[in-house]
Amino acid sequence: MKTLKYRSRGPEVFLLEEILNTLGYDVYVSQFFGRDTHQAIMQFQKENDLVVDGLVGLKTWAKLVEKKNLLTNFNSKLLSEQDLQDFADHYNLELAAVKAVNTVESRGKGFLVDGRAVILFEGHVFWRELKKRGLNPKDFLNDQTKDVLYEKWTRKHYKGGSGEYTRLLKAVEMSDLQDVADAAHCSASWGAFQIMGYHYKNLDYTSINEFVSKMQEHEREHLLSFGKFISVNRFKGKTLTNWLKEKNWANFAHGYNGPGYKQNKYDSKLKAAYERYRNQ
């Protein structure tokens, strides 16, 4: 792992903050090495007889990974080259195109270092899911639940990493009603490809519980759900699978990410990744 320090950015920072979070340090899990992470690292170094310099080099990485052998479950659930090849063969897609989507449209990895699937809980979706079940969200809204239940989208309540499971659990425990638990699980995106739970019926899962259980097994299951998703969802009269076969990156990105794809340059990123993998 490369050496990280205050203000570093990238996926390595995300992994670092996940590990710190799992070890009980209160840090926001993102791809930015902020002041909270800097202070947590110095505290970790102090507690583990390391040089207290705030730099995450080889010795600090080794000590972090050593703690409870954190990466064992994580490493046993990752996609392989053969998984991507099997997916490409099944859907009659070019492997380079599949790799491009895996690089750009996935989170980069589908599991936290503690072995649980990556999730992101959306309180505004929870609001809608409760209403779909005939429940009034305002009946559950108070000072304790306002960070998991709100009518309009906001990112200010995101915690990242394992903190999203804390938010999910809070939503589930708002009531003993099974409908509330189901609505909560439908209101999170799951796994590497960020598939929202409420899609479970259209993706041929018998229940939200089956969907969630599958998402906890392996990134292979995340890829399987992604394949179902692009096969049943259409944009401009064609499935997303067809747009991917044609390498029409704009239409695929629009159908998968919505109209904001252009602002985030998903189509350009997909095309660039495809060209890179095609020329390998």
Residue with tokens 């080099």: 57
DSSP-assigned letter for residue 151: S
Asked if residue 212 belongs to a domain, the reply is no
Asked if residue 207 belongs to a domain, the reply is no
Residue 44's contacts (CB-CB under 8 Å, 6 or more residues apart) are 20, 23, 25, 50, 60, 63, 64
User: Does residue 69 surpass a pLDDT of 70?
Assistant: no
What pLDDT, on a 0 to 100 scale, did the predictor assign at position 31? 82
Provide DSSP, 10-57: SHHHHHHHHHHHHTT-----SSB--HHHHHHHHHHHHHTT---SS-B-
Provide DSSP, 172-240: HTT-S-HHHHHHHHHTEEETTTTEEGGGTTTTT-SSHHHHHHHHTT-HHHHHHHHHHHHHH-EETTEEH
Cα dihedral 264, 116, 196, 104 sign:
positive
Q: 8-15 long-range CB contacts below 8 Å, 24 or more apart? A: 8/32, 8/33, 9/33, 11/108, 11/109, 13/37, 14/108, 14/161, 15/113
- Between CA 231 and CA 125 the distance in angstroms is 23
Query: 114 and 161 in contact (C-beta within 8 Å)?
Result: no
Phi, psi of 97 (to 5 degrees): -70, -40
What pLDDT, on a 0 to 100 scale, did the predictor assign at position 277? 96
Of 10-24, 68-82, 102-116, 192-206, the range with the lowest mean pLDDT is: 68-82
* Among 145, 167, 190, residue at a domain's last position: 190
25 shares its domain with 87:
no
> What is the residue-averaged pLDDT of the chain?
92
238 shares its domain with 182:
no
Residue with the bigger pLDDT between 249 and 73: it is 249
**pLDDT tens, 19-34?**
898 888 888 888 889 9
User: Does residue 269 surpass a pLDDT of 90?
Assistant: yes
What pLDDT, on a 0 to 100 scale, did the predictor assign at position 131? 98
Asked if residue 92 belongs to a domain, the reply is yes
Of 102-111, 121-130, 154-163, 182-191, the range with the lowest mean pLDDT is: 102-111
What pLDDT, on a 0 to 100 scale, did the predictor assign at position 67? 80
What pLDDT, on a 0 to 100 scale, did the predictor assign at position 135? 98
User: Does residue 211 surpass a pLDDT of 70?
Assistant: yes
**pLDDT tens, 115-147?**
889 999 999 999 999 999 999 999 999 999 999
**3-state percent breakdown (helix, strand, coil) of the chain, nearest 5:** 55, 5, 40
What pLDDT, on a 0 to 100 scale, did the predictor assign at position 12? 87
Of 58-72, 107-121, 154-168, 263-277, the range with the lowest mean pLDDT is: 58-72
Query: 96 and 278 in contact (C-beta within 8 Å)?
Result: yes
Per-residue pLDDT band for 70 (boundaries 50, 70, 90) equals low
Tokens of 246: 């044609």
Neighbours of 232 (CB within 10 A): 14
User: Does residue 71 surpass a pLDDT of 60?
Assistant: no
Angle, CA of 151, 157 and 161, to the nearest 5°: 130
Residue with tokens 């998984």: 83
Tokens of 222: 């995340």
136 shares its domain with 90:
no
Cα dihedral 76, 197, 138, 181 sign:
negative
- Half-sphere CA count of 237, side-chain side, radius 13 A: 0
Asked if residue 200 belongs to a domain, the reply is no
100 shares its domain with 230:
yes
User: Does residue 87 surpass a pLDDT of 90?
Assistant: yes
- Between CA 56 and CA 127 the distance in angstroms is 41
pTM across the whole model? 0.78
Per-residue pLDDT band for 212 (boundaries 50, 70, 90) equals very high
What pLDDT, on a 0 to 100 scale, did the predictor assign at position 68? 63
- Amino acid (one-letter) located at 91: Y
What pLDDT, on a 0 to 100 scale, did the predictor assign at position 29? 82
In terms of residue numbers, what domain contains 62? 11-69
User: Does residue 113 surpass a pLDDT of 60?
Assistant: yes
How many domains are there within the chain? 3
Asked if residue 1 belongs to a domain, the reply is no
User: Does residue 217 surpass a pLDDT of 70?
Assistant: yes
100 shares its domain with 157:
no
Per-residue pLDDT band for 75 (boundaries 50, 70, 90) equals low
